[in-house]
Amino acid sequence: MEKPAPWLGNAKNTSEILKKYDFRVRKKFGQNFLVDSFVLDKIVAAADIGPEDAVLEIGPGIGTLTQYLASAAKEVICVEIDRSLERIQAETLAGWDNITVIWEDVLKLDLRALIEEHCPGGRIKVTANLPYYITTPILMNLLEQELPIQSITVMIQKEVAERIAAEPGNKNYGALTLAVQYYADAYLAANVPPNCFLPRPEVSSAVIRMDIKKDRIPVKDPEKMKKIIRAAFSQRRKTLVNCLRSAEELQITEEEAEAAVEKLGLPASVRGETLSLPQFAALSDILP
């Protein structure tokens, strides 16, 4: 599709648009606009967006990534909380007829109904430059609802991306890693420095893709497993046995914890950070 003007993704055009509408960045919404076309192309490529795809974009802002998505996808459905951006989007997104903007808080929206309306019987790809202050609630909301989503490709704080994609034993490996990886296979697609944004954030960023699993790790009680994982990482310096027995929500004795760990073939001194997701699932099935 031909690129209508003004084409964003560079500092000059972005600055001119913000100045034209006298727009003031609102920190409470975590607004940092991408001004690097290479990174924007990288996001679209990492998400594997094609002409038959429907895309859900969260937090389109002034429409920078939206333009790139709309040029590649069949349809783009955007959810934006900041209504003050409406005038800007009226100009920056005027050249496309395959974009729908929903002015709502994504955490309060019925996403299943929204997806069914725009992509009935199909699956949708989520792509976004997420506000860093609310990254985890948005991701877990998308995953835990078990929506008809094929993949999630997002720009987030690099530190959080590394935690999501970490392997057992890594210092970044933790409860968030396992919470995401229960639902999806995650991998880092690109690192993005602060100078790719306007205004520049104080932290580095990364693009991470999460492919939703068709078949999850079998476990009798997923909620029980999540409690065990939370307990295992509540005090990283302590052994898994000590973490389990001291977790009030589990009500597990030291003897029960020791017996379960032994049944897994692990030493009593093992720490939770070394266990894989399948091992946590097995532990959950063993524990009373």
Q: How far apart (Å, rounded) are the C-alpha atoms in residues 219 and 210?
A: 21
Q: What CATH architecture does domain 11-212 belong to?
A: 3-Layer(aba) Sandwich (3.40)
Q: Are 59 and 131 in contact (CB under 8 A)?
A: yes
* pLDDT exceeds cutoff 60 at 1: no
Name every residue whose Cβ is closer than 8 Å to that of residue 67 and which is 6 or more positions away in sequence: 3, 7, 8, 9, 92, 93, 96
pLDDT at 5: 55
Q: How far apart (Å, rounded) are the C-alpha atoms in residues 59 and 55?
A: 13
154 strand-pairing partners: 128, 208
> Residue 31 — very low, low, confident or very high, per pLDDT cuts 50/70/90?
confident
* pLDDT exceeds cutoff 80 at 6: no
Same fold, 11-212 and 222-286: no
Question: For a pLDDT cut of 90, what percent of the chain falls above it?
Answer: 86
Domain boundaries, the chain: 11-212, 222-286
Q: Are 54 and 118 in contact (CB under 8 A)?
A: yes
CATH of 222-286, one of 3.40.50.10490, 3.40.50.280, 1.10.8.100, 3.40.630.10: 1.10.8.100
Q: What is the pTM (predicted TM-score) of this model?
A: 0.93
